[in-house]
Amino acid sequence: MCGIIGGIGNTDFRSFLLTGLTKLDYRGYDSAGVAYFEGDKIEIRKVCGRVAALSLLVPQTLHTKVGIGHSRWATHGRPSVVNAHPHASQSGMFAIVHNGVITNFKTLQNQLKARRFQFVSQTDSEVIPHLLEWYYTRSGSVMEALRLAAEELQGSYAVAILCKDDPNHLYYLKKGAPLLICKTQDGIFVSSDPTPLAELGGDFYDLPEGSYGYLGEQEVVCYCGETPTAPTPFPYSGVAQSNELHGYRYHMEKEIADIPYAIAALSDNYLSNGALCFDENLLSALSGAKRIHFLGCGSSFFACQCGVSAFRARGKEALASVASEWLGFPYDLDGTTFFILVSQSGETADLIRCQAILNEKAIPHLTVTNTKMSSLERKSTYSLLLYAGLETAVAATKTFVSEVVLLELLASALGGAAVTEADLNCLIEGANAVLGRRNDLERLLSAFGENTFCLATGRLLPIAREAALKLKEVGYLHAEALASGEMKHGPLALIGEGFPVLALVGEICGQEGLRASLEEIKTRGGVPLVISMASYAQDEDAFVLPNVPAPLVPSLFAIVVDLFAFVLGQSRNHPVDHPRNLAKSVTV
Ligand code: F6R
């Protein structure tokens, strides 16, 4: 989602802003822009498209001491140059970049229109510079304008602000959206997340929630209302994670190829001398809970569903809810349920809202995430990291597999047959075998048009859902996941000559029923394409996976469906790393 970058000090601002925006790329964006001082004028440059296009508009010889930049993922108003940030106030006194959503923007817009402010964009964000100008004109003080604006703005916002009358400061507003600062010898820099600031080598601080203020070259001034406050240290190691492609053409391709390493990283971090090692307090909280309630979104929700099967297999009552649905009707809050929040980014807004409810009620919970010091991780009672390395492509691949494997390890630490290092090694071997057979998957592509069903049963049903999601996301085809037993209750009506059906067969449970459904599909002209595990395979199956220990079967199927979606998306020349309309980190 939207990303903010900015700073004040002595640096090459052209390079800082443009490289910073590129590093925020993983959040997904459709337009980008920067604002900086040229003499005593604020210059704004923006494009609908990529940072590379923006770089053509920014002078090579940019001499400024203060600048801001933004990558926009459209929410209010289509992607366009006019809707791209920075937005200027009516007279050009203020230029702002905003991440978040102003929920009362219509009301504010009407009030400002009545005060003769003209709006040029369709965004919610444009009310911010006009509101600042309104109060600044009346008070003559930027800080007073910020204080009064903060009282009126509702929703979530991280805003970096330039004021034409004051080229020596970078102003900000922050409530409910991330904004970090990095203090260095050369100045102070801000961003939505630490990634673009990691190489600056300074000290990180979090700006206080609900605060406003300004940054000078070596000073930070923050207020909450009329009370002075101070930034809090943010213990970020400052080590930039590599985003290199290492010879691969696509991040998604590389990240799928990384999966065996991601599994090995889990083995290194959660097994010691052959035994599973998790925090004892976490294990006793899990064992003591009446039930386990998983919350997640998208692929991470499907990982949650795999977690449910893993815990149920160990006799633990468990269920999973889509975070946005649970928010509408939060339940299981009587203190007897233990919550597990699963999110690779740790920044997914719906899940952050769920966590706020849990924290308000002091309900202990665990966050499973790939991102140390992410919003969710920082505010969680317990956390488990995936150690999968940076994931850049929008589609979750290695992190999804890591989530599934880690939840299996955690469940197995509660009792029953434990997953061993040998089991994980077997999964790594299986993963390598699958990754080496990309050509076999390419042979299936010609069967696929615009629609497909993904069938499975039992523990593979969440993986069929993951397959359908990935086929939509990078293959742009309509894919629907179904429990195979449901075919005859309606969906069979769509089956006709040549209709492709992807089926995952690797479970004893429901296997016969699934094969029977496939016969019914064939009889009606449909084309079953079966991915099966060796011990359940039949001669006509399209792709046979090596056997792996039962608890790790869903993980191996996850690898093959991710690889298949990549191969399909790439064969259709889709932008597999940045599918249209999607963002890596869903922060709204
Ligand atoms: C699909 C995908 C998304 C994410 C979802 C949750 O490939 O990546 O569905 O899984 O947006 O994101 P996280 O895990 O960061 O909470």
pLDDT in tens, 416-441: 888 999 999 999 999 999 999 999 99
Residues 385 and 481 both lie in one domain? no
Whether residue 414 is contained in a domain is answered as yes
454 labelled catalytic: no
The ranges of the chain with pLDDT < 70 are 1, 26, 237-241
Verify whether residue 65 is a known catalytic residue. no
Residue 428 lies in a domain: no
Is 473 touching ligand 1 by the criterion CB < 6 Å? yes
Last residue of a domain, one of 179, 214, 234: 234
The CB of 369 under 6 Å from ligand 1? The reply is: no
Is position 210 within any domain?
yes
Buried b / exposed e across 293-329, counting CB within 10 Å, b at 16+?
bbbbbbbbbbbbbbbbbbbebbebebebbebbebbee
Q: Is 298 near ligand 1, meaning CB less than 6 Å away? A: yes
Q: What is the pLDDT of residue 98?
A: 96
Q: Look at residue 570 in the predicted model and tell me its pLDDT.
A: 96
Q: How many angstroms is it from 520 CA to the middle of ligand 1? A: 34
Is the omega angle on the peptide bond into residue 462 within 30 degrees of 0, that is, cis? Answer: no
Q: Do 334 and 365 belong together in one domain?
A: yes
Other beta carbons less than 10 A from residue 331's beta carbon? 9
Same domain, 281 and 207: no
Domain contains 588: no
Residues 145, 24 share a domain: yes
The predicted pLDDT at position 177 comes to 84
CATH of the domain at 198: 3.60.20.10
**What is the secondary structure of 371-432 as a DSSP string?**
-TT-HHHHT-SEEEE-------SSS--HHHHHHHHHHHHHHHTTSSSPP-HHHHHHHHHHHH
Instruction: Let me know whether 413 and 453 are in one domain.
Output: no
Same domain? 227 vs 301 = no
Report the CATH number that the domain containing residue 277 is assigned in CATH: 3.40.50.10490
Check residue 176 and give its pLDDT: 81
Distances (CA, A) of 185 to 10, 241, 328: 9, 23, 47
Atom 3, ligand 1: residue with shortest CA distance? 298
Residue 70 sits in the same domain as residue 205? yes
Residue ending a domain, among 234, 263, 291, is 234
Distance 511 CA to ligand 1 centre (A): 29
Predicted pLDDT at 109: 97
Shared-domain flag, residues 80 and 151: yes
| 126 in the same domain as 204 | yes
- Three-state SS for 560? helix
Report the separation in Å between the CA atom of 218 and the middle of ligand 1, taken as the mean of its atom positions.
38
- 68 and 193 in a single domain? The answer is yes
Are residues 366 and 280 located together in one domain of the fold?
yes
- C-beta 392 within 6 A of ligand 1: no
- Rounded Cα gap, residues 154 and 241, in angstroms: 35
Q: What is the count of structural domains for the chain?
A: 3
Residue 239 lies in a domain: no
Q: How far is the CA of 463 from the centre of ligand 1 (A)?
A: 14
105 CA distance to ligand 1 middle (Å): 28
Task: Confirm whether 424 is domain-assigned.
Answer: no
Nearest to residue 191, comparing CAs of 131, 152, 238? 238
Phi, psi angles (nearest 5°) of residue 167: -75, 5
Answer whether residue 433 is part of any domain.
no
Q: In the prediction, which pLDDT does 239 show?
A: 62
- The runs of H, that is alpha helices, within 238-393 are 251-257, 259-270, 280-288, 298-313, 323-328, 349-360, 375-378
Question: 396 CB less than 6 Å from ligand 1?
Answer: yes
At residue 199, the pLDDT reads 86
Among residues 391, 419, 447, which one ends one of the domains? 419
- Residue-number span of the structural domain to which 225 is assigned: 3-234
Q: Name the residue with the closest Cα to ligand 1, atom 10.
A: 299
Considering the domain boundaries, does residue 572 fall inside one? yes
Q: Using a 6 Å cutoff on CB, does residue 343 contact ligand 1?
A: yes
Same domain, 224 and 370: no
Best residue for ligand 1 mutational test, from 26, 193, 251, 299 (most atoms within 8 Å of Cβ): 299
471 lines ligand 1 (CB under 6 A): no
